[in-house]
C-alpha cells in the first residue's frame, strides 16, 4: 500500500455551529486540522443538508502525512534521510540519492531539500513524457509551478505544461496520474473532461480513477 512507511497524522475535523447569517458553511485549514463553520438554520432553509454532509465527509476522509522532520524529507513517496553538518554548511542526503547539498544554515534546510525534491520531480516527469516518443509533445516546455495550492497540473497550448511543486512528495504512480491527465488533454485538444477525453485518458492509464482518488485523499504537511 502507498505510504505505509510514512508517518501519518491524525485527521482532525472540528465542527462549529455559528450564529452568523453570512455563511451557510465554510472551512479553514491548518495542516491536518480542519475547522468547519456552519449555520444549521441556513443549511435547512436552503436545503443544503445533503451537500453539507458530503462537504464534511470530504475532509474526514483526507489522509495527512508528515513531509518533513529533522531526520527526513518525503521525496516521491519515500522517506529520504539526511544529516546537516553545520561546520561544513552541507546537507548529506542518504538512501538512493546519496548526494551532498550546500546549505548556509539550519533555517534553510527545508528550502534546500524541497528544491532538491522538485528537481527530482521535474526529472521524473520529463523522462515519462519522453517515453511517449511524440515529436510534437516533445516540443512542449515542462515547468514546475511554485504557487498553486489546489491545481496539480495544466497544459497550455502555447506548448507549455505545468505541474505543481507539491507533487514532489507524492508516490510516483500518483504523479503519473497527473502527467497522463495532461497528456490526454494534448491528444484531445477539442475535448474538455468529456467522454472523448476520459476515453483517451483510460486508454493511456487504465487505473487512473483508483490512483487519482488516492491522490485527492492524500495531503502532505
pLDDT at residue 202 is higher than 70? yes
Contact predicate 53/67, CB 8 Å: no
Domain 72-220 CATH superfamily:
Metalloproteases ("zincins"), catalytic domain (3.30.2010.10)
Report how far apart, in Å, the C-alpha atoms of 111 and of each of 43, 97, 103 are.
43, 17, 9
Mean pLDDT score across all residues of the chain: 96
pLDDT at residue 2 is higher than 80? no
Rounded to an integer, what distance in angstroms lies between the CA atom of residue 17 and that of residue 219? Answer: 26
Dihedral Cα 196, 200, 206, 207, nearest 10 deg: -70
How high is the pLDDT of residue 20? 76
pLDDT at residue 166 is higher than 90? yes
Q: Categorize the per-residue pLDDT at 149 as very low, low, confident or very high, splitting at 50, 70 and 90.
A: confident
Q: Categorize the per-residue pLDDT at 1 as very low, low, confident or very high, splitting at 50, 70 and 90.
A: low
- Eight-state DSSP code of residue 14: E
Instruction: Output the 3-class SS for the chain.
Output: CCCCCCCEECCEEEEEECCCCCCCEEEEEECCEEEEEECHHHHHHCCCHHHHHHHHHHHHCCEEECCECCCEEEECCEEEEEEEECCCCEEEECCCCCCEEECCCHHHHHHHHHHHHHHHHHHHHHHHHHCCCCCCHHHCEEEEECCCCCCCEEEECCCEEEEEHHHHHCCHHHHHHHHHHHHHHHHCCCCCCCHHHHHHHHHHCCCHHHHHHHHHHEEEC
How high is the pLDDT of residue 22? 82
16-42 per-position pLDDT tens digit: 999 877 889 999 999 999 999 999 999
Q: Where in the chain are the domains?
A: 9-61, 72-220
Contact predicate 176/82, CB 8 Å: no
pTM across the whole model: 0.92
82-136 per-position pLDDT tens digit: 999 999 999 999 888 989 999 999 999 999 999 999 999 999 999 999 999 999 9
Amino acid at each position: 500500500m502507498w505510504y505505509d512507511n510514512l508517518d501519518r497524522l491524525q485527521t482532525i475535523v472540528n465542527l462549529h455551529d455559528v450564529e452568523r447569517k453570512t455563511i451557510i458553511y465554510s472551512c479553514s485549514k491548518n495542516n491536518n486540522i480542519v475547522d468547519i463553520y456552519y449555520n444549521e438554520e441556513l443549511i435547512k432553509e436552503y436545503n443544503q443538508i445533503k451537500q453539507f454532509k458530503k462537504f464534511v465527509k470530504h475532509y474526514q476522509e483526507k489522509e495527512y502525512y508528515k513531509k518533513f522532520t529533522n531526520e527526513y524529507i518525503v521525496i516521491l513517496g519515500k522517506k529520504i534521510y539526511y544529516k546537516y553538518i553545520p561546520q561544513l554548511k552541507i546537507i548529506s542526503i542518504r538512501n538512493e540519492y546519496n548526494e551532498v547539498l550546500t546549505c548556509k544554515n539550519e533555517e534553510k534546510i527545508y528550502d534546500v531539500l524541497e528544491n532538491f525534491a522538485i528537481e527530482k520531480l521535474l526529472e521524473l516527469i520529463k523522462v515519462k513524457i519522453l517515453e511517449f516518443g511524440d515529436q510534437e509533445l516533445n516540443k512542449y516546455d515542462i515547468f514546475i509551478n511554485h504557487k498553486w495550492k489546489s491545481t496539480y497540473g495544466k497544459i497550455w497550448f502555447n506548448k507549455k505544461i505545468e505541474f505543481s511543486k507539491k507533487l514532489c512528495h507524492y508516490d510516483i504512480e500518483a504523479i503519473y496520474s497527473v502527467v497522463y491527465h495532461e497528456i490526454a488533454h494534448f491528444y484531445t485538444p477539442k475535448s474538455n473532461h468529456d467522454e472523448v477525453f476520459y476515453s483517451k485518458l483510460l486508454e493511456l492509464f487504465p487505473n487512473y480513477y483508483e490512483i487519482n482518488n488516492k491522490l485527492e485523499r492524500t495531503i502532505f504537511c
